[in-house]
Amino acid sequence: MTLVTRSATPKRGIYRPSADLVPKVLAGSRPDIARMISRAEAGYDEASDALAALYRHAGRAHVIGVTGVPGGGKSSLISALIRAYSGDSHKVAVVAVDPSSPYSGGAILGDRIRMGDSAEAQQAFVRSMATRGYLGGLARATLQAVDVLDAAGYSPIFIETVGVGQDEVEVVTAAHTVVVLSPPGLGDDIQAIKAGVTEIADIHVVSKGDKPDAAATASALRGMMSLTPLGRPSEWETPILTLSVATGDGILDLKQCLDSHHAHLVTSGELALRQRSISRTRVLATLNHLLRREFDENTTNLAAHLQAVADRSSDPMTAALALLGLNRMEAKP
Amino acid sequence: MTVERDRMPGSENLSNTPRIRVLVAKLGLDGHDRGAKVVARILRDAGMEVIYSGLYKTPAQILEAAIQEDVDVIGVSLLSGSHVPLFAALGSLLRDQQADHILLVAGGVIPEQDYDALMNSGVDVIVPQEARSDVIVSAIRDLVDARGRI
Amino acid sequence: MTDYSPETTEKLRASLAEWEQDELAATLNIRPEEKTDYRTECGIPLKRIYTAADVADIPLEDIGFPGKFPFTRGPYPTMYRGRPWTIRQVAGFGNPESTNQRYKYMIETGQTGLSTDFDLPTLLGLDSDDPMAFGEVGRVGVSIDSIDDVDRLFDGIDLEKISVSLTINPSAWVIYAMFVASAERRGNDLTKLTGTLQADPLKEYVAQKEWIYPVRPAVRLLRDLIIYSTKTTPKINPISLSGYHLSDVGGNAIQEIAFTMAFTIAYCEEVIAAGMDIDDFAPRLSFFFISHQDFFEQICKFRAARRVYAKIMAERFSAKKAESMRLRVHVQTAAMSLTKMEHKNNLMRTAFQALGAVLGGCQSMHTNGLDEAFAIPTEEAMKLAIRTQQIIRDEINVTSVVDPLGGSYFVESLTSEMEREIWKVLDEVDRLGGAVKLVEDGWFQQKLADSAYQTFKLIDRGEKISVGVNRHVDANSAPAAVEIHPYDENCTTLQVSRLKELRENRDNSLVNDLLSDLKQQARTEQTNLLPKTIELVKARATLGEICSALREVWEAYDEPNIV
């Protein structure tokens, strides 16, 4: 059975130059914001000036990273926070990152944040993003998407990372505030501890606080934190909040806590430090990307070098140096 | 993935070819999600990025998600028999919001007598239940190719 | 099963080896077998031949006798000799009057029990004038908004004479209340009412995906229903634990039975925790399974399910009464096996599946109409489906002997093998914290989605054969041009106008007071909500009003996103 019935009038797309999208993004037009993010993801050269312009307009948003093991309830927590912030007439945005399949390159962007009626849905902007082979828990274009949303006036902007463990610590160098979410486990089985992400948290949240073992999880976290050195020097004392999305208990506390962390960053001057560290990460990541792309587009003879290494007529270092156009003598000791 | 390629590791996203993005959606009160989930996996395995809407969505909710996610395709699977009014509502919303560059694919239990009504609502392709995965995938690729870059 | 001495069994194994070396090897040399690997649909490896050696280890008492623990051979001693299974075709569409008319036609055709399908708004506790009901009123089943609609649905049908099965789930307790109140209004003796509600909430969250509230309140409503119904309408089965839908979303035969049993355990624990004795309600638990394509696997599935259930009731819950351990099952043939291509083949498919259900010992059955793959069956299709059951019952003499396949080396061996696989899953569910928690976590949902994708890939690669679709394809045949049951566009208008009229002609302040009472009661976990619900429906509160009142207390359900 191969029958697929097609419409007689096929749809046609129109490509509008990215420069034309910029004023519309700044005016908050959702279709244009969405399109701009797609262009950043696709990595069109044509879009890079527009993205640069938007970067300069951005910088006002409070960027919050939310991380934790899969199934811990990140999406439902963020949905609850969106409602809490939207009630305050904030324009809230979310960039939710999910892994791409290493086999097909495709992805199921599973946990689309559940929004209520369409008025509610229009006030918040939710964008799902696949990692497309990028490591570290984010996608390459995640922070460009944050720029676009920031320039369009969204704040706070949540980044929901792939919950895989230590790999996702990149969110630390991307967000102003990092929330680590731990579902209640059995006493010593705290997933965040196992994953080694306890020290990156500015705020710890124990989800499903209506479950009986939530208190035990919170106290295990507290015990663990007294033993772990602080990830970064700060006056901020990392709180541990227990909340329940199901009953709504603790959501407003968390919102308050996020706001006071932001206030703390501003008054203590830590915000500038974090901004600088974010810039560092981004410039180096972009550099890395450009180098890779340059290499990918302009390298010839890769196959021959690889074969030579396989045959042991060459070795990995010699081949790599040759590909870089260097020889062993020129390499630093 | 173990195949040796002349590329550096991690360079998958270097080329300027956007991935096809699809919103697999359920509309109305129809809870049959087996087919929608199978299709989501088929499209993922064909290299597309798939967003699954979850159940019980209104046409307005699906439209808003499709806009924010900037999808190329909305695939709606319906087995409740309510496809005619629901696609009519979704199609007119897409036109009202100037979002009719988004391709609309219908699947599920759709009797042939309703094909014309769906096409008139803006559906681009109707996929019968028995369709093989390669047919579904190439139908979507062809549609996106024919539509061109946006 | 055999009382062979170890020596005899050894001798048998030796002669089997001999046969393999001689006759078998010679044949394989000349003609290799078509496949290297033979399995049942759910993946159990199949041997070429089964002998007494394969059943030597099966305890005789596991097989036993019909009507006796562990009921492997059937729930009743005389089975179809005493009473044939009930022919129970489900129907429901449009207004209550349209369905009522179809019922009367089916009773004339020889149907022996009624079964009602409801439309989606009714199932989900929405009134016909709710915006979410747009386009759905009376579409896939009958629309019920108030007790008046239940009166219309069963008008002219004697509810003390014919049993009524109601395929209703999240809103089951309200529909039950309307049913009881309507019967009372007509002067029926409630203790004489017979029938079954589906009301199996856990399988809804994992399979059919109809819900109103989060998981735990839904289980509590079922608990209230079971307790109230057992006392008030002792011949009504308040629940039909439904494996059918687990299969419908991709579950294999083992998953169908094992997950259903896991849900059974959860419900029993809930009702027992409310103070009821297992023997007071277990006799009214009923089951609903699919009869699918793998003929012997399905027959053995029914036998294994009865055995597992009996053991759960006896061993886990210390039931004393035989009725508490006897699994009674309604069977429906597999709608997803039907094809649109050469759709008349569906008659043959359904007939074989129906025969499997009879050989497996079912108590009632729905055979699918040949157009069921595309639409609500037409009257003609329904009649052929009923005739299929009548031919099996009355023409081919398969009902004279109870469990005619019992004792077959293959059937007994496969039954025991399936039983072992079912226990493995049940042990895992226990280990991971029980069915309710695993439903909340999405554990069952993930298993079923994985299984569905696996099945799809088998079909896609042509490894699972569908005649006329991917094997023996006739290039000249087109998909069926079948007569589609017409949808009555006026149905919504009529239901909506009736609602309007009803709200104008009742004591609205009484309704509001009762709704506040109900909300108050819902906040106390121990209170049974049925008495108040019955008061409400008598005061002509609508289904939507009752359900949304409780949504204020319990909120809506947020599904874990499993793809």
| Residue A224 banded pLDDT, cuts 50, 70, 90 | confident
Cβ B44–A127 below 8 Å, yes or no?
Answer: no
CA A272 – CA C514 distance, rounded (Å)? 60
The whole-number pLDDT of residue B5 equals 44
Cβ A31–B99 below 8 Å, yes or no?
Answer: yes
Name the residue with higher pLDDT: A27 or A221: A27
Selection from C375, C290, C356, C293 nearest residue C329 by Cα: C290
Percent of the residues in chain C that have a pLDDT greater than 70, as a whole number: 98
Question: Which of B18, B47, B124 is opposite residue A104, by nearest beta carbon?
Answer: B47
Question: Which of C124, C139, C452 is opposite residue B34, by nearest beta carbon?
Answer: C452
Amino acid identity, residue C381? A
Name the residue with higher pLDDT: A83 or C85: C85
pLDDT for C495-525, tens place per residue?
999 999 999 999 999 999 999 999 999 999 9
- In the sheet that A157-160 helps form, which strands lie side by side, from edge to edge? A125-130, A93-98, A157-160, A63-68, A177-182, A203-206, A240-242
Cβ B34–C140 below 8 Å, yes or no?
Answer: no
- The single-letter DSSP state of residue C518 is H
Residues in contact with C476: Cβ distance below 8 Å, sequence separation at least 6, in sequence order: none
Cβ B11–A296 below 8 Å, yes or no?
Answer: yes
Q: Name the minimum distance, in Å, from the CA of A57 to any CA of chain B.
A: 21
- Best mutation target, C454, C456, C466, to test chain B (most B CBs within 10 A): C456
Beta-carbon count within 10 A of C243 CB: 28
pLDDT for C86-117, tens place per residue?
998 887 778 899 999 989 988 888 887 888 99
pLDDT for C402-445, tens place per residue?
999 999 999 999 999 999 999 999 999 999 999 999 999 899 99
Name the residue with higher pLDDT: A193 or C311: C311
The region of weakest confidence among B4-8, B136-140, C5-9 is: B4-8
CB-based contact (8 Å) between C558 and chain A?
yes
Question: Which of A7, A43, A106 is opposite residue B50, by nearest beta carbon?
Answer: A106
Residue of A nearest to C460 (CA): A1
pLDDT for C312-339, tens place per residue?
999 999 999 999 999 999 999 999 999 8
Which chain B residues are within 8 Å of A115, Cβ to Cβ? 61, 64-65
Q: A93-98 and A125-130: which strand pairing?
A: parallel
Sign, CA dihedral C495-B115-C343-B133, equals negative
CB-based contact (8 Å) between B117 and chain C?
no
Selection from A43, A332, A157 nearest residue B15 by Cα: A43
The region of weakest confidence among A28-42, A179-193, C361-375 is: A179-193
Which chain C residues are within 8 Å of B29, Cβ to Cβ? 120-121, 123-124, 126, 132-133, 136
The region of weakest confidence among A166-170, C61-65, C283-287, C382-386 is: A166-170
pLDDT for B5-61, tens place per residue?
455 544 444 445 679 999 999 999 999 999 999 999 999 999 999 999 989 999 999
CA C283 – CA A155 distance, rounded (Å)? 59
Cβ B52–A110 below 8 Å, yes or no?
Answer: yes
The whole-number pLDDT of residue A189 equals 58
* Mean pLDDT, rounded, of chain C: 94
Cβ A108–C563 below 8 Å, yes or no?
Answer: yes
* Mean pLDDT, rounded, of chain A: 84
CA C559 – CA B37 distance, rounded (Å)? 14
The whole-number pLDDT of residue B11 equals 47
The whole-number pLDDT of residue A103 equals 84
Categorise residue C323: left if φ over 0, alpha if ψ from -120 to 50, beta otherwise: alpha
pLDDT for C250-283, tens place per residue?
999 999 999 999 999 999 999 999 999 999 999 9
Q: Is C317 helix (H, G, I), strand (E, B) or coil?
A: coil
Q: Is A95 helix (H, G, I), strand (E, B) or coil?
A: strand
The whole-number pLDDT of residue A110 equals 66
Strand partners, C94: C142
Which helix (H) or strand (E) segment is B102 a member of?
none
Cβ B132–C460 below 8 Å, yes or no?
Answer: yes
Cβ C561–A111 below 8 Å, yes or no?
Answer: yes
The whole-number pLDDT of residue B10 equals 47
Q: Rounded to the nearest 5°, which phi and psi values hold at C50?
A: -110, 140
Q: What residue spans of chain B are helical by DSSP H?
A: 34-45, 59-69, 83-96, 115-120, 133-147
Q: Name the minimum distance, in Å, from the CA of C497 to any CA of chain A.
A: 27
Residue A113 predicted with pLDDT over 70: no
Q: Name the minimum distance, in Å, from the CA of C170 to any CA of chain B.
A: 13
Residue A300 predicted with pLDDT over 90: no
The region of weakest confidence among B17-31, C171-185, C242-256 is: B17-31
Beta-carbon count within 10 A of C403 CB: 20
Average pLDDT over residues B66-94: 94
**CA C112-C113-C119 angle, 5° bins:** 140
Beta-carbon count within 10 A of C271 CB: 24
**Are the beta carbons of A209 and A251 closer than 8 angstroms?**
no
Residues in contact with C199: Cβ distance below 8 Å, sequence separation at least 6, in sequence order: C168, C169, C172, C173, C176, C222, C225, C238, C239, C240
CA distances from C272 to C223, C238, C269, C436, C437 (A): 9, 15, 5, 15, 18
Domain coordinates of chain A in residue numbers?
57-268, 282-331
Q: Is A181 helix (H, G, I), strand (E, B) or coil?
A: strand
| Residue listed under structure tokens 């392709």 | B125
The whole-number pLDDT of residue A299 equals 74
Question: Which of A1, A112, A246 is opposite residue C469, by nearest beta carbon?
Answer: A1
The whole-number pLDDT of residue B13 equals 47
| pTM for the model | 0.89
Residue A246 predicted with pLDDT over 80: no
Cβ C559–B40 below 8 Å, yes or no?
Answer: no
Average pLDDT over residues C35-59: 95
CA C562 – CA A110 distance, rounded (Å)? 7
Average pLDDT over residues C374-396: 90
Q: Whats the size of chain C, residue-wise?
A: 563
Residues in contact with B114: Cβ distance below 8 Å, sequence separation at least 6, in sequence order: B83, B84
Residue A63 predicted with pLDDT over 80: yes
The whole-number pLDDT of residue A71 equals 72
CB-based contact (8 Å) between A10 and chain B?
yes
Residue C461 CB burial class (10 angstroms; 0-12, 13-18, ≥19): exposed
Question: Which of A101, A125, A292 is opposite residue B68, by nearest beta carbon?
Answer: A125
Residue C5 predicted with pLDDT over 80: yes
Residue C189, token pair as written in the block = 């003796």
The whole-number pLDDT of residue B3 equals 36
Selection from A201, A170, A177 nearest residue A280 by Cα: A170
Chains in contact with B, where contact requires at least 3 CB pairs less than 8 Å apart: A, C
Cβ B12–A42 below 8 Å, yes or no?
Answer: no
Quick one: how far is CA A174 from the chain centroid? 7
The whole-number pLDDT of residue B1 equals 34
Name the residue with higher pLDDT: C555 or C142: C142
Q: Name the minimum distance, in Å, from the CA of B29 to any CA of chain C.
A: 6
**Are the beta carbons of B37 and C452 closer than 8 angstroms?**
yes
Selection from C153, C141, C137, C138 nearest residue C96 by Cα: C153
Name the residue with higher pLDDT: A80 or C229: C229
Question: Which of B42, B82, B111 is opposite residue C374, by nearest beta carbon?
Answer: B111
Cβ A38–B132 below 8 Å, yes or no?
Answer: no
Cβ B126–A115 below 8 Å, yes or no?
Answer: no
pLDDT for A253-297, tens place per residue?
999 999 999 999 999 999 999 999 899 989 988 898 888 888 877
Name the residue with higher pLDDT: C68 or C1: C68
Cβ A103–B126 below 8 Å, yes or no?
Answer: no
Q: Name the minimum distance, in Å, from the CA of A94 to any CA of chain C.
A: 17
Helix axes C253-273, C443-460, angle to 10 degrees: 160
Q: How many CB pairs under 8 A join A and C?
A: 18
- Say if domain A57-268 classifies as CATH 3.30.1360.200: no
**Are the beta carbons of B62 and B97 closer than 8 angstroms?**
no
**Are the beta carbons of B44 and A104 closer than 8 angstroms?**
yes
Average pLDDT over residues C147-152: 97
The whole-number pLDDT of residue C469 equals 87
Selection from C128, C441, C436 nearest residue C263 by Cα: C436
The whole-number pLDDT of residue A229 equals 58
Q: Is C166 helix (H, G, I), strand (E, B) or coil?
A: strand
Selection from A261, A286, A269 nearest residue A65 by Cα: A261
- The single-letter DSSP state of residue A229 is P
Residues in contact with A333: Cβ distance below 8 Å, sequence separation at least 6, in sequence order: none
Write C477-482 long-range contacts (CB < 8 A, 24+). C477/C341, C477/C342, C479/A1, C479/A3, C479/B112, C479/B128, C479/C340, C479/C341, C479/C343, C480/C340, C480/C341, C480/C342, C480/C343, C480/C344, C480/C371, C480/C374, C481/B112, C482/C343, C482/C371, C482/C374, C482/C375, C482/C378
Beta-carbon count within 10 A of C110 CB: 12
How many DSSP H helices and E strands does chain C contain? 23, 9
CA B113 – CA B115 distance, rounded (Å)? 6
CA distances from C340 to B139, C291, C464, C469 (A): 21, 20, 17, 9
**Are the beta carbons of A172 and A63 closer than 8 angstroms?**
no
Cβ A1–B130 below 8 Å, yes or no?
Answer: yes
Chains in contact with A, where contact requires at least 3 CB pairs less than 8 Å apart: B, C
Q: Name the minimum distance, in Å, from the CA of C218 to any CA of chain A.
A: 15
CB-based contact (8 Å) between A91 and chain B?
no
Residue C401 predicted with pLDDT over 70: yes
The whole-number pLDDT of residue C283 equals 97
pLDDT for B82-130, tens place per residue?
899 999 999 999 999 999 899 999 999 888 889 999 999 999 999 988 8
Residue C229 predicted with pLDDT over 50: yes
Which chain B residues are within 8 Å of A104, Cβ to Cβ? 44-47
pLDDT for A3-34, tens place per residue?
677 777 788 888 999 999 999 999 999 999 99
The whole-number pLDDT of residue A213 equals 79
Residues in contact with A41: Cβ distance below 8 Å, sequence separation at least 6, in sequence order: A129, A132, A139, A140, A141, A145, B13, B18
Residues 71-110 of B with CB under 8 A from C: 80-82, 84-86, 89, 109
CA C237 – CA C286 distance, rounded (Å)? 6
Residue A208, token pair as written in the block = 């499903």
Residue B32, token pair as written in the block = 């049959």
**CA C210-C215-C217 angle, 5° bins:** 105
The whole-number pLDDT of residue A192 equals 58
Residue of C nearest to A77 (CA): C558
| Residue A115 banded pLDDT, cuts 50, 70, 90 | low
- C interface residues, B as partner, C-beta within 8 Å: 120-121, 123-124, 126, 132-136, 139-140, 208-210, 248-250, 339-341, 373-376, 449, 452-453, 456, 460, 469, 479, 481, 484, 487, 559, 561-563
